[in-house]
Amino acid sequence: MLNSQVAYSIFKQRLIVYSGVIVTRVKRRNRWHQRIPGQIYLWLAILIFGASSAITRKLTEIGAHNLIGDRNPISLCNVLFVGNLCALIVLIAIYWRQWNKTTLQQLSKRDWFSLTVVAILSGALAPGLIFQALAITGVNNVILIGRLEPPLTLALSVWLLRERVNRWEIIGAIAAFVGVSLTILLQPPSVPMMSMGVLNLGLGEVLAAIGSIAVAVSTIIGKKYLSQIPLGIYSIFRTALGTVIFFLIALTLYGKEHFIDVFSPFLWQWMLVYGAVIVVLGQSFWLKGLRDSTVSTASLIGSFTPIVGIVAAFLILNEAPTMAQYIGGGLILIGIFLSQIANLRHSSRKFASRKLSSTPAEQEVETHMGFKGI
C-alpha cells in the first residue's frame, strides 16, 4: 500500500511538471505568434494569391491528362465551384458571430438588394468570366488586363461618388489604363477572336476586361450603399450567393452534365491542395494581416499581386511575357507606383490610416490586388 502511495505521489508530481512545461510552451508559442508583424501575413497571402491563376491553369492541365471518358474532371467551373465552397467554410468559421439576429435586423431592404447586386457582379459574374478567360488566353494577359479595375474604379468614384483625387492618382490611373489598352491591342492574332468594328480582339482578353468592369461597378456600389455592412456579413453573403448564382448560370448554359464530375475523387484530391493552400492558408494569412495592418499598408502590399502572378506564370507554366505584355505591363507598373505615391502622400484620407474592419475598406484594398483565385 505504501509503495502504491509513493508511486502515485511521484506520478502526480511528474504530471504537474509536464503540464507546466506544456503550458509554458503554449504561452511561448502564442507570444511568438503575436509578435509576427501583420505585414508578414500580408506578404505570405500575396504570394499565394498572386500564384493562384497559374496554379488554376496547371490544375486544369493535369485534369486534361487524366480524362474521365472525354471529360476533364478538373474543369475551371469545377475548380471555381469547389473553391468557393472551401472559401465559404473558412469565412463562416471566422465570421459566424456577426450573423446574429440583432445585426441582421438592422439591415434594410436596400442593403439586401445592394448585397445581392454585388454578389452577382463580384461573386458570380466576374470570377466566371475570369476563369473562362484563363481557359482561352495566357495567364499573363488575364493578370495584366485585370489591372483595368483600379483606374476604372477611380473614374467611377470621381464621377458617381464625387470623390476628390490628386494628380498622382490621375496620372497613375491614366498610365495603367494605357498599359492595359496596349496589352490588348498589341497582342498577336489568336483564336478565338472577337470582332469589334475595325478591331479584332482576343475573346479571352475581352472576357477578362468585362470581368474587371464588373468588379469595379460592384466596388462603387459597395462604397455608396454598403458602408455600414459588417465585413463578415458582406463576405459570407457575397461568396454564398455568388456560388449559387454561378452554379445556376453554368447549369443553364452547359447543362447538368457540366458538373457531373464535381464529386470525382481525382478532382477532390487536387482541390484539397487548392483549398488548403489558396483558400485556407491564403484567406487566413490575408485576414490575419488585415487585422494588424492599416489599409494603406495592405493596399501597398496588395499592389504587388500582378508582379507575383507574372513570376508564378513563368515558374509554374513556363509562360514568358510577350513584347506586348512587357510594354503594357511596364506602364501598368508605373501606374501602380504613382498610385502608391498618392497613397503615401495622403495617408490621412478616409480609409488609409485605419485598420481594416469595414466593407468599403476591404474593397479599397482588393481594388489594388485583382483576382485572388476564388
CB 111 within 8 Å of CB 225: yes
Between 52-64 and 38-50, two packed helices, what is the crossing angle to 10 degrees? 40
194 inside domain: yes
Contacts of 261 (CB under 8 A, 6+ apart): 68, 71, 73, 75, 78, 267
346 inside domain: yes
Rounded distance between C-alpha atoms, residue 93 and residue 99, angstroms: 11
Rounded distance between C-alpha atoms, residue 9 and residue 142, angstroms: 68
Q: What pLDDT, on a 0 to 100 scale, did the predictor assign at position 27?
A: 47
Q: What pLDDT, on a 0 to 100 scale, did the predictor assign at position 2?
A: 47
Q: What pLDDT, on a 0 to 100 scale, did the predictor assign at position 34?
A: 52
Residue carrying C-alpha cell 511521484: 10
Rounded distance between C-alpha atoms, residue 364 and residue 295, angstroms: 8
Identify the sign of the CA torsion 343, 349, 354, 359.
negative
Q: How many domains does the chain have?
A: 1
Rounded distance between C-alpha atoms, residue 344 and residue 341, angstroms: 5
Least Cα distance to 86 among 282, 324, 275, 233 occurs for 275
| Owning domain of residue 275 | 38-165+190-326+341-367
113 inside domain: yes
332 inside domain: no
Digit-by-digit pLDDT tens for the chain (374 residues) are: 445 555 446 544 554 544 454 445 444 544 444 556 778 888 898 898 889 889 989 999 999 898 888 888 888 888 888 888 888 888 888 888 989 988 899 999 999 999 999 999 988 999 899 988 888 888 998 988 888 888 888 888 888 888 887 788 888 888 989 999 888 888 776 656 665 555 567 788 889 999 999 988 988 898 888 878 888 898 899 999 999 999 998 888 888 777 888 888 888 888 877 877 887 788 778 777 777 777 667 777 777 888 899 999 999 999 988 898 999 999 988 988 887 776 665 544 555 545 555 566 666 666 666 666 55
Q: What pLDDT, on a 0 to 100 scale, did the predictor assign at position 35?
A: 58
30 inside domain: no
Rounded distance between C-alpha atoms, residue 166 and residue 329, angstroms: 23
245 inside domain: yes
C-alpha cell at 25: 510552451
356 inside domain: yes
- pTM (predicted TM-score): 0.79
221 inside domain: yes
